[in-house]
Amino acid sequence: MKNIAVLTSGLSRGSNFNAIVDYINNNNLQIEVKFVTINRKKALIQNKCKFYKIPAIFISTKDFHSFEEKLLLLFKKHKIHLIVLAGFMRQFSADFLKKIQCNIVNIHPALLPKFGGKGMYGMAVHQAVYEAQEQKSGATVHYVNENYDEGKIIRQLSVDISNCKSASEIGDRVLKIEHKLYPKTIAELLERK
């Protein structure tokens, strides 16, 4: 059995989390989502966690150092093999990244290295893609390092957006392929371990 932890922020809708758990269940994979962290007590994703009976653990990110310390203890306790970011917005310290015993992966809603970096999240990404009149966009799964969206790219999937009339239309199209790409990539990474 391989264990993963999913880290979210208060604004996470939980759609990638949903896709990951469904993929694991539908394919009978030997992967367990041990817990989800939330940094807001009323995070929307809690309902999804309840549905799947996966613990949602609240840890405040206000004191980020203490947040990282608490995570390290949880990763150790639950023997986590892979840390999965799903809408988690903050940057980890170099010290934390040195101390963790496994990889961290993230999904970005565009084709990196374009349209990444600080402030490039949510609709801001799709708006920039729309304004640049790109014909295609996509999703990128990448390792996490100390710089926003700069870790090594693992997999990308692109989608035609040439007939999209707005940034939100692009966002909808990209989200659909995120749900295809992220669970499969996570499963592949864990298989290789």
Q: Which residues are catalytic?
A: 108
Q: Which amino acid is at 24?
A: I
Which of 82, 87, 129, 154 forms a contact with ligand GRF (CB under 6 A)?
A: 87
Number of C-beta neighbours around residue 48 at 10 A: 19
By CB under 6 A, residue 145 contacts ligand GRF: no
- Segment near ligand GRF (CB under 6 A); pick from 11-19, 34-42, 68-76, 149-157: 11-19
- Segment near ligand GRF (CB under 6 A); pick from 13-21, 64-72, 145-153, 154-162: 13-21
By CB under 6 A, residue 149 contacts ligand GRF: no
The DSSP symbol for 160 reads E
Q: CA–CA separation, 97 vs 88, rounded Å? A: 15
Q: Name which of residues 21 to 80 contact ligand GRF (CB under 6 A).
A: none
- Yes or no: say if 89 and 9 are a contact pair by the CB < 8 Å rule: yes
In the complex with ligand GRF, the residue whose CB is nearer, 29 or 175, is: 175
Lookup: tokens for 60: 């405040």
Closest approach of ligand GRF to the CB of residue 76, in Å:
25
Number of C-beta neighbours around residue 150 at 10 A: 15
In the complex with ligand GRF, the residue whose CB is nearer, 134 or 178, is: 178
Residues pairing with 3 in the sheet: 32
